[in-house]
Structure 1
Amino acid sequence: MIQLPRHGLGTAPIGGLFQALTDEQAKATIDAAWDGGVRLFDTAPHYGLGLSERRLGAALAGRSGYVLSTKVGRLLVPSSRGGRDDEGFDVPATYERVWDFSRDGVRRSLEESLGRLGLPQVDLVLIHDPDAHVDQAIAEAYPALAELRAQGVVKAIGVGMNQWQAPLRFVQETDLDVVMLAGRYTLLDQSGLPLLAACAERGVRVLAAGVFNSGLLATPEPSGTFDYAPAPLPIIERARRLAAICERHDVRLPQAAMAFPLRHPAIAAVVLGARTPEEVRTNAALRQRPVPDALWHDLRAEGLLQEA
């Protein structure tokens, strides 16, 4: 069974999510995570059209003792259309993404990822965002990954999504090791509880991603986006109520956001995206501070929190 560290670095930001950054800046961020004890790193071809994988592989070269996950489901095909990427990453549109959850597509995707990473293998492979392709992903992508797992090519397999309903199908119908659940078990959104219950029952471990809901919970005073879009006023007001109660207990809002998912027995790790070394170090300092049980009690009493 694969051992999963409690905290991981999500590398969409070093692939240029929303804002470009240099190779040197990306390496500094990864180095800061490593120096802070992070040994779980998550990437995907989708992140910056392969740029995240290339940068992560270069930064980890010569290092050992870490767990690395990447994803399948989107093939990168050379493109001549020019311009910038139109899916949220500030990178040149030298490739286009093509959905492919077939057996051959999965194998090709992993092979190309290994080339970009400069590695002979990775520890964990996740089926990435099969929202519109669930039936094919279960029928074709999953068996392909299960075969690679049986051959020892990868240690563990799973699915990674921003919703909980489709991953629940995977847990019920396949033999996954891991689910990465983004944004559906946070201080603001506990809708993923049915999935977590099934994972706990089946022994499937969960990586909690998107615990800041893309930004709103990332600072002591709530600001920014919610699920990658402008936050609706009711959500902002709810986040402010959360922050006020946190403050009464001398807890920062992002500190509570990082600690909360790990209270559930199904969740093995929290994966945090970071763009800069400063963000990495700030998150590391906050997660080391204890959160009193009285905070969770008060959040439940105010109707702001639902736990298993």
Structure 2
Amino acid sequence: MPDQQGRRVPGLDRPLQPLTVGTSALGADPGDEALAEMMVSGRLRQLDTSNNYAGGRSETLIGAALKQAPDGVTVFSKADSDPGTGVFDGDRVMRSWEETTSRLGVETLPIYHLHDPMTITVSEAMARGGAVPALVALREQGLVGAIGIAVGGGTMVEDYIRTDAFDAVLTHNRYTLVDRRAEEILRLAAERDMTVFNAAPFGGGILGGSPRHATRYGYRRVSPEFAAHVERLRALCERWGITLAAAALHFSLAEPRVHSTVVGVTSAERLAQLESLADTVIPDGFWADLAALGSPPPSPID
């Protein structure tokens, strides 16, 4: 893993780590208690969760594991719309906050994101009584150290960044070996000195070696041109003696505008694999050869 000096985040008593374990799938299987315990006791003990992951079970399992965990575990979470009605106003943000902190067994969080506000407009989110003023109130009360925006699709992320209300941003499936659509997000965030999380560096699995996702990027089927570019990347990695997954992870880790890379983990095996990938040393010459391949074809997601 690159030897980077971690970014300081208000409300976090230790430097931000370059790798964050994503827990969106945690709680989907009955035996995930053991996986949660590994996540909080292992080497990579910086976790990203959300109010709606596995219907709240992700946070519940993390909270139970935290009771037995040593010091030094960091958890970030997100406010979500009402699962039944889709309402996402200020009252819902406060209820989401109460649900999250109750499940996790904590009183404060270092970063709390507004998550996928697809049921409201940016103007509605920013208005009096809206979701963003509620997040700001939580920050002003010291209940969160920083507030972030985490949303996929279109230009909504950029629109929220331009409000200047947020301290952090989480982008997903938009800055990888084969996709640079987050360039504008990274530019806007850097101008505002925001903390940046880059999630899904494997593009939903195609860059992580998953046979099940070999024909999809961001969960959508890829074009023949896109698939051919991935194969050229794979061949390049083989020539340098590294795996495509290692190159994909370190592409994000090496980007100075990205402060932490979020990788979803679904099993103990995947957690161990992530640690091994993080330790892989990428030869300097690889990046020059990568650039020589040219710009990747358009990805299948917006």
TM-score by length of 2: 0.85
**Residue deviations 1:46-94 (CA, integer Å, cap 9, x gap):** 2111111111211222433222111113224xxxxxxxxxxxxxxxxxx
1:74 aligns with 81
One of 36, 44, 59 as aligned partner of 1:53: 59
1:117 aligns with 104
1:105 aligns with 92
Evaluate the alpha carbon distance shift between residue 161 and residue 107 of structure 1 in structure 2; reply closer, same or farther with a 3 A threshold.
same
Is 2:46 the partner of 1:40?
yes
Letter in 1 for 2:60: R
How many Å separate the matches in 1 of 2:36 and 2:215? 24
Letter in 2 for 1:272: V
How many Å separate the matches in 2 of 1:138 and 1:255? 40
Asked if structure 1 preserves the Cα contact closer than 8 Å seen for 2:36 and 2:61, the reply is no
Give the drift of 1:188. Answer: 1.7
Larger displacement relative to structure 2 (160-169 or 185-194):
160-169
After superposition, the CA RMSD in angstroms is: 2.1
* Identical columns (%): 31
Asked if structure 2 preserves the Cα contact closer than 8 Å seen for 1:164 and 1:192, the reply is no
1:191 aligns with 181
**Residue deviations 1:151-194 (CA, integer Å, cap 9, x gap):** 10111110112246222222221231111101000112111101
One of 31, 35, 40 as aligned partner of 1:29: 35
Larger displacement relative to structure 2 (167-176 or 288-297):
167-176
How many Å separate the matches in 1 of 2:73 and 2:136? 22
Larger displacement relative to structure 2 (208-217 or 159-168):
159-168
Letter in 1 for 2:160: F
One of 284, 287, 291 as aligned partner of 1:296: 287
Structure 2 gap segments, 5+ residues each = 1-8, 298-302
Give the drift of 1:278. Answer: 0.7
Asked if structure 2 preserves the Cα contact closer than 8 Å seen for 1:200 and 1:265, the reply is no
How many Å separate the matches in 2 of 1:241 and 1:286? 20
Is 2:260 the partner of 1:269?
yes
2:24 aligns with 12
How many Å separate the matches in 2 of 1:11 and 1:137? 26
How many Å separate the matches in 2 of 1:193 and 1:254? 21
Evaluate the alpha carbon distance shift between residue 32 and residue 241 of structure 1 in structure 2; reply closer, same or farther with a 3 A threshold.
farther
1:135 aligns with 123
Give the drift of 1:305. Answer: 6.0
Give the drift of 1:253. Answer: 0.8
How many Å separate the matches in 1 of 2:126 and 2:201? 26
Asked if structure 2 preserves the Cα contact closer than 8 Å seen for 1:182 and 1:209, the reply is yes
2:161 aligns with 171
One of 254, 259, 275 as aligned partner of 1:284: 275
